[in-house]
Amino acid sequence: MAFVPTPFTTPIIAPNTYQATRSASYISPSQYRFAPTAVATNALVSGSSDQQVDSVASLAQVIARASSWVDDHCFHRSDGSLVASITVEQMWVTIKPTGMATFITNFKPLREIVGVAIGPSPGSVYNIEQNQASTILMGEKSFSLVGGYYSGVPTGFFGPWPSVNGQMLGIYSYIAGWPHAALASNVTAGSTTITVQPPVAGATALYGAYAGTALTIKDGARTETVVLASAPTGLTLNLVSPTKYAHTVPLTPDAILVTALPNAIEEACISMTNVLIKTQGMRAQVLPGSIGNSSPTQRQAMSRAGALGDFDIAEQLLKPYVTVYAH
């Protein structure tokens, strides 16, 4: 009989466990229908007695799958998301002779470092204080702590602590991605305040948005861009200028998205949705996890369905957003 270790009284939970639930749809059913795809969506559910309602619900599910496919291709892991959200990671970092330590993040682009703790062991980590945060240098997919002397004493980040073979453990939280959420309530023309729904499960704020951030309200012919006057107060957004149009929140599962996602990601999601709809009932409906790794058989099936062009367009559009597992 195999040895079975005794369970811990208090379980040891990975700091990134909650992140697996932060998937989001990158376009709405209305956005897809407004796009010039030439793909019919009015009868997606065979035998339905109410195609108008059921087709929207079915389209929303297809879009959710297409959005998940975007994530899988860009990150090659289940917890990746292009929607700005908080990520918690940990890694052993080498302390350079200059007193600098560089942390590589799994997701990009970095928007904000929320907090950092560092120390010689998992049981001995210490928070970096606010007055030391100005020494953090940020890149698109990494940030560095610059050690130093404070008040003439070598406390800094690394001075008083022993290292393990020149390394120390860092635990850090950060925000990466683009602000992206759905409108939570109707907006009248001339409004200077709008509210949005939580961008991902469990969120209490619109992450990655700050004073001066431009967001697009995706509402068909009434689409407009607004600029934030300040960082969001939770899910409430204060605007520099009043809205030009009125926006009426549609019935769920449709939505009006408020987003800073690049247009290329929206177009890629539209193309992937095209593939899923065109290949209904075909072998190509079982799509590869990574766009570029499709098999010849899958490509032949998509070609027969007239979806191969959409597939290749999505691959090209997403190239700038592909990242790799860092640590």
Residue 73 predicted with pLDDT over 70: yes
Q: Across the beta sheet with 257-259, what order do the strands follow? A: 180-182, 257-259, 214-218, 224-227
Q: What pLDDT, on a 0 to 100 scale, did the predictor assign at position 281?
A: 55
**Token duo for residue 58:** 């079915």
Residue 255 predicted with pLDDT over 50: yes
Phi, psi of 183 (to 5 degrees): -60, 135
Residue 242 predicted with pLDDT over 60: yes
Q: What pLDDT, on a 0 to 100 scale, did the predictor assign at position 2?
A: 82
Whether residue 81 contacts residue 178, with contact meaning beta carbons closer than 8 Å, is answered with: no
Q: How many other C-beta atoms are found inside a 10 Å radius of the C-beta of residue 178?
A: 22
> In this structure, is the dihedral angle defined by the CA atoms of residues 104, 106, 108 and 114, taken in order, positive or negative?
negative
Which are the contacts of 40, defined by CB distance < 8 A and separation ≥ 6?
Answer: none
Q: What does R_g of the chain's alpha carbons equal in angstroms?
A: 23
Phi, psi of 148 (to 5 degrees): -170, -175
Q: What pLDDT, on a 0 to 100 scale, did the predictor assign at position 280?
A: 75
Q: What pLDDT, on a 0 to 100 scale, did the predictor assign at position 239?
A: 98
- Look at residues 309, 273, 322 and name the one whose alpha carbon lies nearest to residue 67: 273
Segment 90-96 mean pLDDT: 85
Query: What are the sequence ranges of the domains in the chain?
Result: 17-81+263-321, 85-176
Q: Give residue-wise pLDDT tens across range 41-65.
A: 776 666 555 556 668 888 999 999 9
- Look at residues 170, 181, 12, 218 and name the one whose alpha carbon lies nearest to residue 85: 181
- pTM metric for this prediction: 0.85
